[in-house]
Amino acid sequence: MPSINFKNHKWLEFNNGLASNPYDKLKVSDFFKDADICEGRLSNDDKGIKDGGAAMMAYAKMQFEDITLNERKQLQQNLLRYCELDTLAMVMIYEAWINWL
């Protein structure tokens, strides 16, 4: 399942008939490396945006804090990836409901 917004990126891949967890593919920059704004909402391994709470905090950081243009671009890309995947998940749920009906 390819990404619509990002080149050479696939959200869903299958290995031996099992689907990979697409949220594990949310790789982001080191922007949140030492940040405490998203404590408990980020994965411990890559400090990525992994849920809606962290996404809201990152968006607020872009609006209300003085950050560099590079940091802003990194946050924007991270948020776009998270939002694309979350939208895909909602579509998949909707399609499953339609099939069950």
Radius of gyration of the chain (CA): 15
Residue 41: the pLDDT is 44
The answer to whether residue 19 scores a pLDDT higher than 90 is: no
| Highest-pLDDT range among 9-13, 35-39, 56-60, 96-100 | 96-100
Q: Which helix (H) or strand (E) holds 14?
A: strand 14-15
| Highest-pLDDT range among 26-30, 73-77, 94-98 | 94-98
Model confidence over 37-85: pLDDT tens digits?
A: 444 444 334 456 778 888 898 899 999 999 899 888 888 888 888 888 8
**Residues above pLDDT 70, as percent of the chain:** 77
DSSP state, residue 15: E
